[in-house]
Structure 1
Amino acid sequence: MNNQIKLSKEKREDMIALIKAYFLKERDEELGDLASGFFLDFITENLAADFYNQGVWDAYTYMNVKIEDLLEIQKY
């Protein structure tokens, strides 16, 4: 299974723009496209899997609650 996250060109450009805006607003630093792209690569390669796995866990937990709810409609 390939664990690498694939982003469309448009989504990558949008994310780079968000990173640039964040650094400018919060740190008063101007990042270029290259530095922002490297930062995005770092996030996707090193941190994104943890966010993805948390989403999977949250969905699993949610579905288990709903499955338990489903069992309550059984007829005896």
Structure 2
Amino acid sequence: MSAIKFSNEEKALLAAKLQRYFSEELSQQIGRFDAEFLLDFISEEIGGYYYNRGLYDAQAVLSAKLDDLGDAILQLEQRTDFKR
């Protein structure tokens, strides 16, 4: 898996969200540098867990859709004297 990277604009938005969380929920002020440092830590150390969960969820959805598609194809099957 490649490292999780964000554009400068995305990183600024996420850092601002961390700053707001620290301010509103923890009554602590952190600067943008500290927020970006925390974001880097979360991305490197925890991000893979969220990434993998997203992959597993996507795989489950795709598998269910493929099952539905297989069922739909079987419903189109015509009766013949051939045995399957």
TM-score by length of 2: 0.84
Residue 46 of structure 1 aligns to which amino acid in structure 2? E
The higher radius of gyration belongs to 2
> Is structure 2 residue 16 aligned with structure 1 residue 17?
yes
Structure 2 residue ranges without an equivalent (≥5): 79-84
Query: How many equivalent pairs are there?
Result: 75
- TM superposition outliers: structure 1 runs of 4+ over 4 Å: none
**What does the per-residue CA deviation read over 1:18-66, in whole Å, with 9 as the maximum and x for residues that have no partner?**
0000000000000011111111011000011110110000010111111
For residue 52 of structure 1, what is the aligned residue in structure 2? 51
Give aligned-pair identity as a percent: 32
- Per mean C-alpha deviation after superposition, the further-off stretch among 66-75 and 51-60 is 66-75
Deviates more, 1:17-26 or 1:3-12: 3-12
Counterparts of 1:63 and 1:5, CA distance in 2: 23
Please show how residues 22-33 of structure 1 align to structure 2 within 5 Å.
Answer: 22-33=21-32
Q: Which residue of 2 aligns with 1:36?
A: 35
User: What TM-score results when the alignment is normalised by the length of structure 1?
Assistant: 0.92
CA RMSD of aligned residues (A): 1.0
CA distance in 1, matches of 2:43, 2:15: 12
2:48 is aligned with 1:61: no
Cα offset, 1:6, TM superposition = 1.4
1:67 and 1:61 mapped to 2: Cα distance? 10
Larger RCO of the pair (alpha carbons < 8 Å, separation 6+)? 1
